[in-house]
Amino acid sequence: MNNSRIVERIISKERLEPYLNRHDNDLEKALNHYKINILISQSFYPILAVLEVGLRNSIDYQLTRKFNDDKWFDNHEYVKIASRFHIDRISQARTNIMSEKKAITPGRIISELSFGFWTSLFDLKFEMTLWKNLRLAFPNCPKEIRKRKTMSSKFNRIRKLRNRIFHHEAIAWNLDVLQTYKTEIIEGINWLDKDLINWTVELNNIDETIGKYRQIIE
């Protein structure tokens, strides 16, 4: 069995199928595209990490201020407006921390909650209860577009890309669309803090990575 067939067996035919379809069942080209997909996904990781950590900490700061409680996720005023989804995610975070035999602290709870938890706080459900405070998490966003609906749409689009990358799924098809995602992520970081975006410059090599492999994919 040649190396390509071994790789195909380990990665799985089902996972390679989109790549095989793209390259007329040429296994070598499909595997090469799959490898490039990993490299491009890897190039997105640094700015996604900055955005995700920055977003959750900024939201945590604003909700701590709103409820005057660094355990706002347990505060009865928050619990009254939270959905079952949020209560369950907080409970699961607590369970995960306990399973690792660690002390439950606000910082550990915040770190354990998923990106989906944070983006869901921009849902319509919270427009009248949380948005007035959450909008302050984006001091560098122009006021005319600093709307709950804008944030919900933007960060849920980014969340979907983030999940595809973190679940090792294909993203490297339309490279122009990936450029749009890159712009969205950078804009989101900039909205959180104008200095933070400058700090990420050395972490962002998406353009170089896409440029290197564009001809092979297209």
- Whether 24 is in a domain gets the answer no
Assess if residue 10 is contained within a domain: no
Residue at 1 is within a domain: no
Number of domains in the chain: 1
The answer to whether the beta carbons of residues 60 and 110 sit under 8 Å apart is: yes
Within-domain flag for 68: yes
pTM of the model: 0.91
Residue 6: per-residue pLDDT: 67
Treating both helix axes as pointing N-terminal to C-terminal, what angle do 27-67 and 206-217 enclose, rounded to 10 degrees? 150
Does 41 fall in a domain? no
Segments of the chain scoring below 50 in pLDDT: 1
Could you give the C-alpha distances from 155 to 5, 18, 23, 74, 192, in angstroms and in order? 39, 27, 33, 25, 12
Residue 80 exposed, middle or buried by CB count within 10 Å (0-12, 13-18, 19+): exposed
Number of neighbouring beta carbons within 10 Å of residue 178: 20
pLDDT of residue 3: 62
* Domain membership of residue 69 as a residue range: 46-217
d(CA 92, CA 94): 5
- Cα torsion 99, 104, 106, 109 to 10°: value is 10
Q: Would 33 be classed as within a structural domain?
A: no
Q: Minimal CA–CA distance to 44: which of 192, 169, 218?
A: 169
Q: What is residue 151's predicted lDDT score, i.e. its pLDDT?
A: 97
At residue 111, the 3 state secondary structure works out as helix
* Alpha helices (runs of H) in 146-205, residue ranges in sequence order: 148-166, 175-192, 194-199
Domain annotation covers residue 40:
no
Question: Which sign does the torsion angle of CA 69, 71, 76, 79 carry?
Answer: positive
Distance CA 65, CA 155 (A): 22
At 70 the three-state DSSP class reads coil
In this structure, is residue 34 part of a structural domain? no
